[in-house]
Chain A
Amino acid sequence: MDLMRSIFGSASAMKAQGQRMEVIAENIANADSLGQRPGERPYQRKTVVFRNLLDRSLGVNTVHVQKVDVDRTDFPKRFEPGHPAADNDGYVLLPNVNALVEMMDMREAQRSYEANLSMVETAKTMLVKTIDVLR
């Protein structure tokens, strides 16, 4: 059934957005995770890469998370000579997580999830209304 297939397609997108939320949560949770010794790297921000994937049993292009990569931008520094991870000049490397960027990513994931949820709801309503014609 076409409408049922569209529901499964949207469900795959909802799953992908769920995984994206997982990564965003990890980034925000670790926004203050620093190294313990001089030269040790702090938490490095993670990013998700989505990819379309043809589900042959359904005949639908579904979405899946191809890989969870790391953000390669430089770590910011903060002058804090007393910190155990401070280098010779007294600077500590901070995670390259920007809370604002994560918040925007979170909103985007939320909106995309909602869009796919509406898709599922509408497709199901259409199916049920078609069946209701017989009643």
Chain B
Amino acid sequence: MIEKIGMNMVPAAGTGGVGRSIAGAIGNAAGVPGANFASFVKGFAEQSVNATQGGENLALKAVDKDAELVDVVSAVSNAEVTLDTVVTLRDRVIQAYQEIIRMPV
């Protein structure tokens, strides 16, 4: 009985099943095809880097008086929210992994 449960549970959790399911759910929602944790993090990191760069470019332009302050604020807010999403989701997935690692076998 115990063996059976163990056999069913360990491979599913041990091979990144949790990460895959979370990443898959997020990936589908965000249009990212990657189905594993690494590609999910990579995709979202790229997205947040792009958003941050957009915000920084506009901020630099604003210093040169080439950009509207409102544009800078909305671009930086966009970058902030994107980064916030990535960091929170990463923490959440890592937390799931850690809980699996701490599981007494």
Chain A residues with a Cβ under 8 A of chain B? 1, 4, 7-8, 11, 14-15, 18, 120, 124, 127-128, 131-132, 134-135
Contacts and interface: CB of A to CB of B under 8 A. Distances in A.
17 contacts: A7-B74, A11-B70, A11-B71, A11-B74, A15-B70, A18-B70, A120-B73, A124-B81, A127-B81, A128-B81, A128-B84, A131-B81, A131-B84, A131-B88, A132-B88, A134-B88, A135-B91
Contacts of A8: 74
B88 A7 contact: no
A52 B94 CA distance: 46
The B interface is mostly helix, strand or loop, or mixed, namely helix
The A interface is mostly helix, strand or loop, or mixed, namely helix
Interface of B: 68, 70-71, 73-74, 77-78, 81, 84-85, 88-89, 91-92
A4 B92 CA distance: 23
B22 to A, nearest CB: 10
A4 B68 contact: no
A4 B51 CA distance: 12
A14 B89 contact: no
Given A11-B70, A15-B71, A18-B70, A124 B85 contact: no
Nearest to A1: B81
Contact of B78 (A4, A18, A132): A4
Contact of B89 (A4, A120, A134): A134
Contacts of A1: 81
B70 A14 contact: yes
Given A7-B78, A128-B81, A18 B68 contact: yes
